[in-house]
């Protein structure tokens, strides 16, 4: 088989791999680079021919895996787009939101490439989408040969799948993004059992090991204690969240903690795309039972929408828990504006529940000491950080030891490292070379075709 990493800039970037195996041309994932602007954010689709893809497979609906699907689908209109059942409704919703964000950016920053696609392109995507159940194979034929595609639950976020391709008894597995731990809303990954011939492995968390003695459940407990502490001192608690998956998980953590008498009752405010996705999650639960999220918990908790009369430096009059997008406190989002209102008041607290890229405002805030100043560029406002700022390891990604253990057990002949920054890939490279001396561990050069 031949494989090319189309993510032009390496790192986490715009996830996309082109695979040629027998007569089949297959694209796995079609992301957009979260830190690039305009066409620069696209995978290097110039390396593909015209209308020559036989299959497009989407592992899940985060934009670094999904964001350029309408672009590539329009160039390959005959390729079925295979994905799990929840993604058939979630993908168009995420893409429509992406168009709105791109249109806003075009106006605000004059980015002429935006939007990269239009609503009518999403209608075409809808026609190409093919829902596939987890764990049951579908066979595709070409020139008298066949390939089997199997999707396996990958945890991480609703709809996430690891992708197994079986061609002439050779098993190739793309992990996609994985979480083995159960979340409150979603069961953990159930990946294919060994022996696997070729494993394409995500490496997001390769640069760090999990803090000694902590687990997901101890982090949830610490998070609940911190929220209580902030409320008890008369402050508000800001929780910046990703709209897809993280917001619903945090709502459920808060709901369960309150029901168990572990969290003081207070107003709860939520805002952003995540609130609309709550409706989608509820429908997915009713239809497929692939998620444990019931929209009625919002009513039980009296969740209110955010009122946007926020001013930098003016503390919130309505004390409570604010669960809002975006997870990395990106400029112009509710979490950014709320942080500007809250940060200079010492009874308040900010709780990050996932990874923050160091180049984002959330990452910058985590890297700034208490009592130092934090500058909100988009608001031209400087705040002395008096609120508490904490981070909790409730990541949607498996830690590096769990991933390495899976790779070792897979007894794969070839392991391709993917979807991680260079330091993260290096850790995997060294560790796996030592543990699997016979395996070929590859860190692909973007754009180069490898015969494996």
Q: Which is nearer to Zn ion, 161 or 316 (CB)?
A: 161
The DSSP output letter for 446 is: T
Alpha-carbon dihedral sign for residues 81, 84, 85, 87: negative
CB of 153 to Zn ion, least distance (A): 14
The residues near 192 (Cβ < 8 Å, ≥ 6 apart) are 150, 152, 162, 164, 171, 173
Q: Which of 186, 341, 333 is nearest to 273 (CA)?
A: 333
Q: For Zn ion, which is the closer residue by CB, 62 or 152?
A: 62
How many residues line the site for Zn ion (CB under 5 A)?
Answer: 3
How far is the CA of 233 from the CAs of 218, 228, 402, in angstroms?
23, 9, 38
Q: Which is nearer to Zn ion, 230 or 416 (CB)?
A: 416
H-helix segments, 12-168? 63-66, 69-75, 85-109, 119-128
- Taking the CA atoms of 115, 116, 120 and 123 in sequence, report the sign of the dihedral they define: negative
Give min distance, CB of 230 to Zn ion, in A: 29
Indicate the residue among 198 and 203 with the shorter CB distance to Zn ion. Answer: 203
- Min separation Cβ 400 and Zn ion, Å: 15
Q: How far is the CB of 267 from Zn ion (least distance, A)?
A: 31
Residue 93, sorted as left (phi over 0), alpha (psi -120 to 50) or beta, turns out to be: alpha
Q: Residues 17, 33, 62, 216: which binds Zn ion (CB under 5 A)?
A: 62
Distances (CA, A) of 21 to 2, 24, 141: 6, 5, 12
Q: For Zn ion, which is the closer residue by CB, 179 or 263?
A: 179
Task: Give the nearest distance from C-beta 300 to Zn ion in angstroms.
Answer: 29
Nearer to Zn ion, 54 or 177 (CB): 177
Rounded Cα–Cα distance for residues 350 and 330 (Å): 14
Lay out the sheet containing 24-28: strands in order across. Answer: 129-132, 81-84, 55-57, 24-28, 17-21, 2-5, 449-451
Interacting stretch for Zn ion, rule CB under 5 A, among 81-89, 173-181, 189-197, 246-254?
A: 173-181
We find the least distance from the C-beta atom of residue 60 to Zn ion, in angstroms, to be 6
Instruction: Tell me which H or E stretch contains 443.
Output: strand 440-443
- Of 62 and 93, CB closest to Zn ion: 62
Least Å distance, CB 243 to Zn ion, is 12
Strand, coil or helix: 321: strand
Residue 64 or 249: the one with the smaller Cβ distance to Zn ion is 64
Q: Of 29, 54, 177, 219, which one interacts with Zn ion (CB under 5 A)?
A: 177
Residue 79's contacts (CB-CB under 8 Å, 6 or more residues apart) are 27, 53, 54, 55, 56, 73, 128
Q: How far is the CB of 54 from Zn ion (least distance, A)?
A: 24
In the complex, the smallest distance separating the C-beta of residue 26 from Zn ion, rounded to whole angstroms, is 19
> Least Å distance between CB 150 and Zn ion?
20
For Zn ion, the closer of residues 62 and 337 by Cβ is: 62
Task: Determine the Cα–Cα distance for residues 318 and 238; give it in Å rounded to an integer.
Answer: 12
Can residue 29 be called a binding residue for Zn ion (CB under 5 A)?
no
Look up residue 448 and give its two tokens. Answer: 């180069």
Q: Which stretch binds Zn ion (CB under 5 A): 170-178, 251-259, 356-364, 378-386?
A: 170-178
Contacts of 291 by beta carbon, 8 Å cutoff, 6+ apart: 86, 158, 185, 186, 281, 284, 285
- Comparing CB distances to Zn ion, the nearer of 26 and 66 is 66
Per-residue DSSP letters for 136-181?
Answer: --EEEEETTEEEEEEEEE--SSTT-EEEEEEETTEEEEE--S---S
Residues within window 63-102 making contact with Zn ion, judged by CB under 5 A: 64
Residues at the contact surface with Zn ion, assessed by CB under 5 A: 62, 64, 177
């Amino acid at each position: 088989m031949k494989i090319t990493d189309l993510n032009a800039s390496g790192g986490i970037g715009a996830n996309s791999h082109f695979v040629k195996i027998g007569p089949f041309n297959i694209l796995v994932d079609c992301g957009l680079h979260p830190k690039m602007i305009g066409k620069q954010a696209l995978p290097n689709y110039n390396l593909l021919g015209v209308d020559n893809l036989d299959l497009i497979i989407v592992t899940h609906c985060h934009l670094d895996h999904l964001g350029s699907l309408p672009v590539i689908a329009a160039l390959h209109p005959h390729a079925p787009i295979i994905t799990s059942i929840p993604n058939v409704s979630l993908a168009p919703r995420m893409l429509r939101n992406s168009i709105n964000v791109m249109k806003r950016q075009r106006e605000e920053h004059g980015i002429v490439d935006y939007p990269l696609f239009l609503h009518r392109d999403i209608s075409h995507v809808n026609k190409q989408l093919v829902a596939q159940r987890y764990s049951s194979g579908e066979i595709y034929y070409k020139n008298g040969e066949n390939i089997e595609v199997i999707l396996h639950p990958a945890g991480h976020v609703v709809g996430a799948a690891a992708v197994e391709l079986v061609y002439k008894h050779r098993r190739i597995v793309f992990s996609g993004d994985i979480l083995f731990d159960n979340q409150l809303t979603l069961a953990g990954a159930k990946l294919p059992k060994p022996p696997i011939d070729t494993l394409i492995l995500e490496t997001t968390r390769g640069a760090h090991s999990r803090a000694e003695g902590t687990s997901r459940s101890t982090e949830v407990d610490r998070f609940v204690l911190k929220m209580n502490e902030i409320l008890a001192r008369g402050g508000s608690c800001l929780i910046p969240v990703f709209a897809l998956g993280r917001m619903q998980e945090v709502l459920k953590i808060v709901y369960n903690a309150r029901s168990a008498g572990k969290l003081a009752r207070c107003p709860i405010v939520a805002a952003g795309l995540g609130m609309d996705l709550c409706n989608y999650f509820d429908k997915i639960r009713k239809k497929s039972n692939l998620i444990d999220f019931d929209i009625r918990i919002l009513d039980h908790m009296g969740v209110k929408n955010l009122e946007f009369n926020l001013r930098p430096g003016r503390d919130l009059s309505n004390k409570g828990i604010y669960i809002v997008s975006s997870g990395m406190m990106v400029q112009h989002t509710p979490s950014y504006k709320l942080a500007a209102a809250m940060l200079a008041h010492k009874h308040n607290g900010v709780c990050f529940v996932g990874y923050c890229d160091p180049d984002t405002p959330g990452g910058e805030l985590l890297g700034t000491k208490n009592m130092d100043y934090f500058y909100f560029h988009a608001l031209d406002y400087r705040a002395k950080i008096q609120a508490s700022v904490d981070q909790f390891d409730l990541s949607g990604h498996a830690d590096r030891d769990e991933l390495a253990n899976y790779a070792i057990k897979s007894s794969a002949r070839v392991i391709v490292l993917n979807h991680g920054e260079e330091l993260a890939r290096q850790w995997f490279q060294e560790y796996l070379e030592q543990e699997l001396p016979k395996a070929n561990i590859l860190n692909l050069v973007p754009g180069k075709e490898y015969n494996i």
